[in-house]
Chains A and B, each alone.
Chain A
Amino acid sequence: GAVVSQHPSWVICKSGTSVKIECRSLDFQATTMFWYRQFPKQSLMLMATSNEGSKATYEQGVEKDKFLINHASLTLSTLTVTSAHPEDSSFYICSAEGQASGAYNEQFFGPGTRLTVL
C-alpha cells in the first residue's frame, strides 16, 4: 500500500514551453502533497505544499507564477512549469501525506520526473 506515482517519468522540452507533471496517490487519499526539486548531486529542496481544494503554499524564493500547482482531488496534484528554461532542468519529486501510526502523517514519495529543457 501507500504507492505514489508520477507522470511522466522523464520529459524533454524546448525552451519557452510549459510542462505538466502529475502526482497521484494510488491507494490512499492525500489531503496534502509536497513538491520538491533536486539538482544533480544535491539534496531535495521543498518547493511548495499542495492542499486539496485550496491554494498551494510556496517556499521562499519559489515563483508561484512559474510553478503552478493544482490539487484538484484527494489523489492528484499537478505541477506545471510554465515557460520553461534550461535552468529549470531538474529532478522533480512529489510526496503525498498519508496516515501512519501515532500523530505523525508519513510522507510517501513518488519516483520523480526528470525534466530537461533544451
Chain B
Amino acid sequence: SQQGEEDPQALSIQEGENATMNCSYKTSINNLQWYRQNSGRGLVHLILIRSNEREKHSGRLRVTLDTSKKSSSLLITASRAADTASYFCATVYGGATNKLIFGTGTLLAVQP
C-alpha cells in the first residue's frame, strides 16, 4: 500500500498551545497537501507544498517538507477549540492523473 502514515494518531492539547503532526510517505511525490475534516463532514484543503519547497506558511499553519526523509510536518500555532478535527496529509504521485493518497490521519482535540 502506498498509504502514508501520520503520528500521533491522536493529540490532545490546551487552547493556546501549539500542535504538531507528522506525516511520512513512501515514494517520490509531486506535492503534499494537508486537509482538515470535522467529524462526519467533508474535507477542507489547508495547504499544498510542492516537492521543491521546504517550508510554507498560511496564517497559523506552518508546513515543512523533507523529501530526503519522505516526511512532512504540520504545525498549528496558538490553537483554538475550533481547530478540533482530524488532519490528513495527502500525497500526489503524478502520472496521468493527480491521484491523492491519504495518510492515516491525526485526531486533534483542543481543550478550551
A residues sitting closer than 8 Å to B (CB atoms) are 32, 34, 36, 42-46, 49, 57, 91, 93, 95, 97, 102, 104-112, 114
**A104 in contact with B3 (CB, 8 Å):** no
Q: Are A104 and B48 in contact (CB under 8 A)?
A: yes
Q: Which residues of B contact A97 (CB under 8 A)?
A: 98
Once bound together, how far apart are the Cα atoms of A109 and B33, in whole Å? 13
Q: A97 — nearest CB in chain B belongs to which residue?
A: B98
Kindly specify which of B14-22, B56-64, B74-82, B102-110 makes contact with the partner chain.
B102-110
Is B100 a contact partner of A43 (Cβ separation < 8 A)?
no
Min Cβ gap B17→A in Å is 24
Pair B43/A43 contact, Cβ less than 8 Å: no
Question: Which residues of B pack against A, CB within 8 Å?
Answer: 3, 30-31, 35, 40-45, 48, 50, 88, 92, 97-105
A104 to B52, CA, bound (A): 14
Which residue of chain A has its CB nearest to the CB of B45? A106
Contact of B31 among A49, A104, A108 (CB under 8 A): A104
Chain A residues closer than 8 Å to B42, beta-carbon distance: 93, 109-112
| Residues of chain A lying within 8 A (CB to CB) of residue B40 | 91, 112, 114
> CB-CB < 8 A to A45: which residues of B?
102
B98 A105 Cβ-Cβ under 8 A: yes
A49 to B98, CA, bound (A): 10
Chain A hits for B44, CB < 8 A = 109
